Structure 1
Amino acid sequence: MNALTRAATAAPARMHGPSLAAALLVMMGGTLYPPLMADATGHADHRLAMALFWAMSAGFVRGVGFVPRFLLWRLLFSGWAVLAALGLALVFKLMH
C-alpha cells in the first residue's frame, strides 16, 4: 500500500455540509431560474455553466462524504474546489 492510498484510507470520510449545501443551491438555482446561466443577450454562457456544474459536481461528491483516492480527482472534487469553481463562476458572471 503506497502513501497516497494509506492517507486516503486513514480516516473515514464524513458528510461535508457546506459543500452539499452549495451543490443543492446551484442545482435548485439552475433548475428554477435557467437564465442564471445565460449572458446579457440571452444566449447560453458555456464558461459560466461549466464553472457552476463543476461546483455542483464537486459539492455533491464531497458533500456526501466521498473522498477519491486518486490525487487529481481528490483535488477536483474537494471542498476547496467547490469554492474555487464558485469564484470562477462569479468572475465569468461579472465579465458580462
Structure 2
Amino acid sequence: MADQVGVDPELLSSLTSKLRNVAADVEAEASEPPIPQAGEVTDVIEAALRLICTGVGNMSASAGGVGDAVAESRDTYTTTDYESALQLEKTQLNAENPN
C-alpha cells in the first residue's frame, strides 16, 4: 500500500489564526518612532529606525497574507479530500454491485 498523505485541518486553522493575530497585534501597536536625540548622527539613526519600522510593517502584512493563503489552502484541501472520498466510495460501490 502506498504511503498516505494527510493534513489536519484543525492544525491549519490554528496556524491561520496565529498568523492573522500576529499581523493584527503588530498593526495595533504600530506607531512612529520618536525622533532620536543622537547629536550629529540623529539623521542616520532616524533613517535606520524608519527602515526597521517599514520592515516590521512589511512582515506584519506578509504574516496576514500567509494566514489568508493557509486558510484558502485548508478549504481547498478539505473540499478536495471530501470529494475524493465520495468518488472513491462511489467507485467501490459500483465495483461491488455492477449493473
Compute the TM-score of the two structures, normalised by the length of structure 2. Answer: 0.37
The answer to which structure, 1 or 2, has the higher relative contact order (CA under 8 A, 6+ apart) is 2
Structure with bigger gyration radius? 2
> Which structure's residues are more often helix, by fraction?
2
